[in-house]
Structure 1
Amino acid sequence: MSNVTDDAVVFEKVGKTAVITLNRPQTKNALDEAIMAALPEVVRRARDDRSVASVVLTGAGGAFCSGAYLGSASSSEKAFIGRDVVLASQDWFAELVGMEKPVIAAVDGVAVGAGFSLALAADFVFLSQRARLLPSFLGLGLVPDLSMMYVLPRLVGLAKAKEIVFSALPVAVEDAVALGIAQAVVPVENLLDTALAYAQRFDEAPPRALALAKTILNRSFETDRAALTQLEAAAQSLCVASDYHAEAVRRFTAKEPAIYPGPARR
């Protein structure tokens, strides 16, 4: 286990998993200037470290993220404050969403507004029993941001996404699982261990093939079938020529244990 601590964000390696922890418990890990300044470097570190096979995103102090830090908003051009805040996050947020590694969110306590959106950036979400997913935007006279209006309809369908956003009410953890927003609800004392165990299932996965599969799947809703087939064909050509594939075939032919038996078989 190794770690690097920024005052606002903690980067820790547990085996082949990078754990990114928002570390502003006094504000329930609101996206203040310090967190926003630290996140780009931390996300890129996880992305660029070839020894990292997966990422777990969580928050310190019994909270995931309470959204944008409203107390820091200051500008002489008030009409542009919201635009500036949203656009300032897009570089690191896009890199997190597009990370060519599985990203697992371990959500305890509040995930409010942009904090809810941040959880949706993960490929898989685990909730504690006391997690509170709250799309609070309309309650403040705002619209959802950090790509919630892109991701949520793709997860739950357009009508259900409208119901969640328009109501501005918390999504019950059991409903989040039923809707496909989260994988499971677990006791708070087991939350991080559960997320780590899930992440570690990908330790021996083929990194290049997984990266290509995630990249293409992330574009599947806005790519037509013919174009997607071309992406699949190009990706498959790369995978067929890989050393990983050659070794996997050799093991299969020799009736030896697979490199990556797959999460469901463990």
Structure 2
Amino acid sequence: METIRYAVEDGIATLTLDYPARKNALNGTMRREIGEVIHGLRQDSSVRALILTGAGTDFCSGGDISTMKGQISADQGRQRLAAIHPWLEDLIQLDRPVIAAVDGAAFGAGFSLALTADIVLATPRARFALPFLRLGLIPDCGAFYTLPRMIGLQRAKALMFSMRELSAEAARDEGIVMEIVPAEALQARARAIASAFTEASPVALALTKRALNASLNQDLHSMLEMEADGQGIAFATEYREQAATRFLDKQPARYRWPD
């Protein structure tokens, strides 16, 4: 890998954008390498949680603008994005929790990439913005899907139209960032949360995430049916049986959220 690092340890996968010379900008090589990693991750059942992060002092500055010079046809522009749609869908719909650990800039496509995560952690110096309109472009990398579902349609419009830069605190107030942690503690906190997920029922986690992702596109009856079907599957797992026994025997639960 030329622009990313990928490692799996104790059931936790860490995908690090590693192109600090360009503030981890998403160039063609990085897009291809992320796709290869996500494809392999989907097949690797040993991975119980994924951490997305950036090397150096930034998460991701967005698309590599140096690759956008000159005339680009509509077809070329479309293919530039269509090529990454398979792994974007796989990442957003991944049946395991995804944690984004954001330090420094998360701009443009970098902001969009952070939005693919289930949980976003940020340092006090993290900054978020969608400045696409400044370049005569529209938000991409799934932001039209993820951002309105996270913060609501009006606020999503305001961020995209205004191109306003959000501090970590403002992003938390908007509902984008879950926690702000010191830069030196960012990776440790991400791993602590990911480690907790390794002790949860993988079936129950996958079913919960699938239902949540579907909830805004379904009616009440459909969601109740999904709930009943999923709970039936969860009841039949060995994990649920063992968890009930531990509870009745007054033993501590395996899955606990880290303080």
TM-score grouping bracket, smaller chain normalisation: over 0.9
Q: TM-score scaled to structure 2, two decimals?
A: 0.94
Distance 2:188 2:161 in 1: 34
Cα deviation digits, residues 200-242 of structure 1 (max 9, x gap): 1212000011001101110100111101111111111111111
TM-superposition CA deviations, 1:7-47 (whole Å, max 9, x none) = 21111123221110011111111111111111112113333
Q: Are the aligned partners of 1:73 and 1:81 in contact in 2 as well (CA < 8 Å)? A: no
Q: Percent identity?
A: 41
How many positions carry a matched residue from both structures?
259
1:143 paired residue number: 138
> Does structure 1 retain, via aligned residues, the 8 Å contact 2:12–2:49?
yes
TM-score of the pair, normalised by structure 1: 0.92
Task: Indicate the residue corresponding to 1:3 in structure 2.
Answer: none
Displacement after TM superposition at 1:77 (Å)? 5.9
Query: Are 2:257 and 1:263 equivalent residues in the alignment?
Result: yes
Say if 1:74 and 1:81, in contact at 8 Å, map to a contact too.
Answer: no
One-letter code aligned to 2:163: A
Contiguous gaps of at least 5 residues in structure 2: none
1:115 is aligned to 110
1:246 counterpart = 2:252: no
Structure 1: runs of 5 or more not aligned:
1-5
- 1:1-266 map, 5 Å: 6-73=1-68, 78-260=73-255, 262-263=256-257
CA RMSD of aligned residues (A): 1.7
Q: Deviations over 1:32-87 (max 9, x none)?
A: 11111111121133332222111100011211111112323489761223211221
Confirm or deny: 8 A CA contact 2:109 2:140 kept in the other structure.
yes
- Check whether the contact 1:75–1:81 (CA below 8 A) recurs between aligned residues: no
User: Is the CA contact 2:125–2:167 (under 8 Å) kept in the aligned structure 1?
Assistant: no
Q: Contact 2:96/2:206 (CA < 8 Å) preserved in 1?
A: yes
* Moved beyond 3 Å, runs of 4+: 73-77
